[in-house]
Amino acid sequence: MNRVDIKVTFKCNNHCKFCVQGDKRQWCLDKSTDEIKTILRESKGNFGEVVFTGGEPTIRADIIELVSYAKSLGYKILIQTNGRMFAYKDFCINMIKAGADVFAISIHGHKAELHDYLTSAKGSFEQSTSGIRNLLSFGKMEWIDNKNH
């Protein structure tokens, strides 16, 4: 199924040393809620899935509203995220209730020291892994065995 990727922000609560967005967070403005809703409406005829991406989409104040709106249009919804906001159970519950279907969480190291160094955000490994554990507890994460895919 084709999907539309919507970069909802260039802002991020990490500052990864390797970020492909570079310094865009400094000069690229976020689309408004209405602009994103228009993109969702106009894209629905061509796409069945939407990916909310960024920067970090979960730090947008209106992300729950955007997910809910996309779900009302019939989209399957993927959240591409660093997972830090999912460390908060209420946030997990609200995203799931709004209709988010799939969560792609980036981990940048096998231990906190490496991950936190690469993200330039102390404590980010613990928040991201806590977010994964929360989503697992709600049955919303699947492990992919890359050896068999």
Question: Residue 25: its pLDDT value, please?
Answer: 66
- DSSP letters for 50-75: EEEESS-GGGSTTHHHHHHHHHHTT-
- Residues with Cβ within 8 Å of residue 56, at least 6 apart in sequence: 9, 11, 12, 13, 14, 81, 82, 84, 85
Residue found by looking up tokens 């554990």 in the block = 133
Look at residue 23 in the predicted model and tell me its pLDDT. 72
pTM of the model: 0.90
Burial 7-40 (b: 16+ CB within 10 A, else e): bbbbbbebebeebebeeebeeeebbebeebbebb
Count up the domains in the chain and report the number: 1
| Domain CATH number, residue 67 | 3.20.20.70
45-63: pLDDT as tens digits: 899 999 999 999 999 999 9
Residue 105, domain extent: 3-148
Give the model's pLDDT for residue 120: 93
The stretches in the chain having pLDDT less than 50 are: 144-149
